[in-house]
A and B are shown apart, each in its own frame.
Chain A
């Protein structure tokens, strides 16, 4: 096809100018694709971190009730779930597992000579622990003299299996031996163990003299029944007055990922603006090309080239610029995404997933479409030049 050949040669003869136009497209595609890849990666990371707690209904005391003990207390200390409430929750949630959670914060020391720190302490029934968390090292603790520590806690305070932790000021509340390191759990709604220690419920009860719970985690076996379980708990406990708040972690996750997706889309759209700017540069260069070649267009038209053929010649130029620029941009965004993933997130496992390639395909398609759209007007103008005026043009 002769017009395709002319388009190619014209780009080659004006290589510097064409390269600058393509550079704009490359930058635009990289901007869109990189933002998309970044958004996807964050979304996948968050989703994976949150996946483990996506099957829970978290039951906590109703914050606005003024306490569950006849309105006696006003501080957060008074907001607890009683054993009776727990039993009601357990019945309402059956056959799913209801796990009572005790929580406080206290001073502790890792060894002789080390500074006191304050960290969260969770009290859990040893039987419930495996269903809430996994260990990266060691074994689950069943004895009151042992404890589990979170991954960040262990790293920050150089705690290893067998290390001893003294609880309370100067170890006033006893010393516990570390039996296991909890696998990193990231952000979660049930128990945030990464910077905390987990002790047995009995030790917690005895040490802090507590009978009531801070929250109850209901592990739902069938995710489709989350709404049903949540409603059953609310119906059981909030009949007369609102005693507990329930949190469906899957819904929270969905809302979170939706918001994250919207932010990602917005940022990608900002990247898209750079592609539109690049499109304007394509329009400018194509207009220059038409102006420079008015006489040539006049000759073509006078010896029998139809309007659509002249138009196709300029559109081919726009398509070549778009396809080459977008393809380079696509490759560069994959390389850039690899560098960002490896540098920022220390992993590239979220990069080579279908969504990355879908994002790059969208960016490439958008780049090509912008180029074609911006090539239409100059091509139309070239095709509709009066052959007589074009022939006279100097």
Chain B
């Protein structure tokens, strides 16, 4: 087992230059995520959660400071390198599921794998992951719009897991679900974490945050707890 932290933030600053003046979204943020952790990031609206999530997901680069993902510093990476890093080492779970309506469930799940291999993949691998997130076999060839919200989020989790990422990044994963379905998704997350998946979850719901083992609280661009 590799003991290296899966993610390290050191004095990360993110400033958005705007015509009305620069806006500092993150101001000297430092933390470390070890393998197998289940962390929730909480904070009020405008606290810098989304900026933090974008940086953790390699969708953006910091203005200053350093970020390491699995030992790789992302600050000087090109767009192509960052995209490859996202594809190979990070799994995204979105609040609104964000599945592709033109693809069926198996195709949606295997999509990141096709990006990685550059060719068609064995649908059995997709089925295997879908079964791991407890999705019924008979739904595999349906399109996303034919599934319930909870089922779609399970597919979204399966898609995030297909390339065996180092980190699962979840943005309000239960924000669009009723509480019962949301609890079902959180049970799934807990189970995945128990099996070794590192999870970072951005949420404003303290009940959902209770499923995590550590909470990072952020306010005005700084970690406060």
Given A295-B98, A299-B100, A303-B92: A388 in contact with B54 (beta carbons within 8 A): yes
Judge whether B59 and A304 touch: CB under 8 Å. no
In chain A, positions 288-328 with a C-beta closer than 8 Å to chain B are: 295-296, 299-307, 309
A42 to chain B, nearest CB (A): 49
A315 to chain B, nearest CB (A): 17
Contact with A along B148-184 (1 / 0, CB 8 A): 0000000000011001000000000000000000000
Q: Decide yes or no whether B206 CB sits under 8 A from chain A.
A: no
Given A303-B92, A306-B80, A388-B54: A6 in contact with B87 (beta carbons within 8 A): no
Judge whether B86 and A13 touch: CB under 8 Å. no
Contact with A along B59-72 (1 / 0, CB 8 A): 11000000000000
Q: Decide yes or no whether A10 CB sits under 8 A from chain B.
A: yes
Q: Decide yes or no whether A210 CB sits under 8 A from chain B.
A: no
Q: Decide yes or no whether B79 CB sits under 8 A from chain A.
A: yes
Given A2-B107, A305-B115: A13 in contact with B92 (beta carbons within 8 A): no
Q: What are the residues of chain A within 8 A of B84 when measuring CB–CB?
A: 304, 306
Q: Which B-chain residue is minimally distant from A299 (CB atoms)?
A: B98
Q: Which B-chain residue is minimally distant from A301 (CB atoms)?
A: B83
Judge whether B102 and A303 touch: CB under 8 Å. no
In chain A, positions 366-390 with a C-beta closer than 8 Å to chain B are: 387-388
Q: Which B-chain residue is minimally distant from A7 (CB atoms)?
A: B102
Q: Which A-chain residue is minimally distant from B98 (CB atoms)?
A: A299
Complex: how many Å from CA A307 to CA B86? 13
Q: What are the residues of chain B within 8 A of A5 when measuring CB–CB?
A: 103, 107
Quick one: which of B86, B119, B120, B163 contacts A302, CB cutoff 8 A? B86
Q: Which A-chain residue is minimally distant from B101 (CB atoms)?
A: A296
In chain B, positions 73-130 with a C-beta closer than 8 Å to chain A are: 79-80, 83-84, 86-88, 92, 94, 98, 100, 102-103, 107, 111-112, 114-116, 119-120
Q: Decide yes or no whether A17 CB sits under 8 A from chain B.
A: no
Complex: how many Å from CA A305 to CA B115? 6
Q: Decide yes or no whether A349 CB sits under 8 A from chain B.
A: no
24 A–B pairs (Cβ distance < 8 Å), ordered by A: A1-B119, A2-B107, A6-B103, A9-B102, A299-B94, A299-B100, A301-B83, A303-B86, A303-B111, A303-B115, A303-B159, A304-B84, A304-B87, A304-B88, A304-B115, A304-B116, A305-B115, A306-B83, A306-B115, A307-B79, A387-B59, A388-B54, A388-B59, A391-B98
New A-B contacts (19) at CB < 8 Å, excluding given A6-B100, A306-B83: A5-B107, A9-B102, A299-B94, A299-B98, A301-B83, A302-B57, A302-B59, A303-B86, A303-B92, A303-B160, A304-B84, A304-B86, A304-B87, A304-B112, A305-B87, A305-B115, A388-B54, A388-B59, A388-B60
Listed from nearest, the 9 A-B pairs whose CB atoms lie closest are A304-B87, A9-B102, A299-B98, A2-B114, A304-B115, A304-B86, A303-B112, A387-B59, A306-B83
